Amino acid sequence: MDLQTIHDELQMIHKKVDRIEHMLESYIKPSCSEMSEHIHFIKQVYDTIKTPLHYVSDRIRKYIGRNDRVVAFSTTDVIDYFPMNADTTS
């Protein structure tokens, strides 16, 4: 390998690194910032509704006869409590 070939390859590597740096600065940083803002928003919403949500949840459990405290409902829990195919005519 001669010196010119090494120099050309080094220049090519520098260009690639510059493109990667540009992508990081232009796309990745703003995207991460937007995600951080979204996470902050979700936390604020949860902090606002968690007390009323627990109140309603406790009342529902009291109505259906469950005494254990459930912090979060899963889809399976909701289906178990309110089956879609249940006969409601009786």
Higher pLDDT, 44 or 70: 44
Predicted TM-score of the model (pTM): 0.41
Instruction: Show me where the domains of the chain are located.
Output: 3-81
Residue 58, classified by CB atoms within 10 Å of its CB into exposed (0-12), middle (13-18) or buried (19+), is middle
Mean pLDDT of 38-56: 87
What local confidence, expressed as pLDDT, does residue 49 receive? Answer: 87
Mean pLDDT of 53-66: 82
pLDDT tens for residues 10-27? 999 999 999 999 988 888
Alpha carbons 39 and 8: distance in angstroms, whole number? 45
